[in-house]
Copies of this chain bind each other. A is one copy, B any other.
């Protein structure tokens, strides 16, 4: 097999654009100097657009999970109760973080592959006025669901005074996000998915209402204390040494997003989702999620007539193509295709056409070209650049 080729189609970490790779290999500079401050200033205004907020976007050096934990420890006061909306493994992560701090959690669980229903949230909050914060995932990476986050936010605010915290790690940058307009109080995301960077940065923005609570929150915290980040960003710096190579890369990522146009970035992700889904429908292979709540960044496929782990091995062996497996109880039962960040419609065509070969190799008789044709048709209908 051709050496050195990795076709990485997992739902993050995602491939890095060459110009971002080059940016990240710039020589180190002083993290307290003028150049770093100027860079943070440029980044700041562009990041706000991606998160859809006029608030400062705080940059933590850490994985996405560090951002989730920072949200919990800053927002939840001692002895408060919270509601966690769980549609998969990353909803559960919020619950695990709260457990670690012995925070009393309420949970709304839906079957994996289903989306959270805003009406259920509304009803639950009306019945439980003691809940002070609601946590939700936007895109649930483990299932490929895009929760109706705007509607959930409306439901939360209609039913209660609770703050609404959103994990947008696996979609922000690839799908439209209007934190302010939608009334989201804390938006958390990370660098390694639609942001086209390696893991290592978490981005957090906080509403006025949430800041008021954070400032008076007595819960112990140091590295994750968002007040420190806020105080520092006002001086174009960071409280702790930032992962500068990732910051170099972030600056270039935001340039690329601006050059393409954020609207077109979102349109491209929508298109890639539609191409991918059309292909599997044409091949008569079930998708885990409905069209209504499918994420533009990741598609979960639930085969009923071949073994998905054998299939994943075949793709890796034949083409160096990596797709993800399922997590927890869906392990071995689904596979997931990432189509986010540095991924194009042509990359989707490549993935689908390789997959058609892989299906035949695991003994799942599949008409060659059929899924590809369905994806091509979607491109001709929705994707053509005029």
Interface positions, chain A 366-382, Cβ under 8 Å from B, are: 367-377, 379-380
Q: Do the beta carbons of A380 and B353 come within 8 Å of each other?
A: no
Inter-chain CA distance A7–B17, complex, in Å, is 13
Which residue, A20, A319, A383, has most C-beta atoms of chain B within 10 A? Answer: A319
A140 within 8 A of B: no
Q: Do the beta carbons of A350 and B361 come within 8 Å of each other?
A: no
Stretch in A83-91, A122-130, A231-239, A341-349 with 4+ CB within 8 Å of B: A341-349
A385 within 8 A of B: yes
Query: Which residues from chain B contact A345 at a C-beta distance below 8 Å?
Result: 318-319
Nearest B residue to A368, CB-CB: B373
A357 within 8 A of B: yes
- Top 9 nearest A-B pairs (CB, nearest first) are A369-B373, A369-B369, A350-B350, A368-B373, A349-B353, A4-B17, A2-B344, A3-B256, A319-B346
Q: Do the beta carbons of A19 and B1 come within 8 Å of each other?
A: no
Query: Which residues from chain B contact A369 at a C-beta distance below 8 Å?
Result: 368-374, 376
Inter-chain CA distance A19–B20, complex, in Å, is 16
Query: Which residues from chain B contact A372 at a C-beta distance below 8 Å?
Result: 353, 368-369, 372-373
Q: Do the beta carbons of B356 and A3 come within 8 Å of each other?
A: no
Question: Which residues of A line the B interface, CB within 8 A?
Answer: 1-5, 7, 17-20, 25, 256, 259-260, 264, 268, 317-321, 342-347, 349-350, 352-354, 356-357, 360-361, 367-377, 379-380, 383-385
Inter-chain CA distance A350–B17, complex, in Å, is 18
Inter-chain CA distance A367–B368, complex, in Å, is 13
Q: Do the beta carbons of A343 and B2 come within 8 Å of each other?
A: yes
Inter-chain CA distance A342–B349, complex, in Å, is 19
Q: Do the beta carbons of A17 and B3 come within 8 Å of each other?
A: yes
Known interface pairs A3-B17, A3-B256, A268-B2. Does A353 touch B376 (Cβ–Cβ under 8 Å)?
yes
Inter-chain CA distance A319–B357, complex, in Å, is 23
Q: How far in angstroms is the closest Cβ of chain B from A92?
A: 33
Inter-chain CA distance A354–B380, complex, in Å, is 11
Could you give 26 example pairs across A and B, Cβ below 8 Å? A1-B344, A2-B268, A2-B342, A3-B19, A3-B259, A4-B17, A4-B20, A5-B344, A25-B25, A318-B345, A318-B384, A318-B385, A346-B353, A346-B354, A350-B350, A353-B372, A353-B375, A357-B376, A361-B380, A361-B384, A367-B373, A368-B369, A368-B380, A369-B373, A369-B376, A370-B373
Nearest B residue to A319, CB-CB: B346
Inter-chain CA distance A154–B317, complex, in Å, is 41
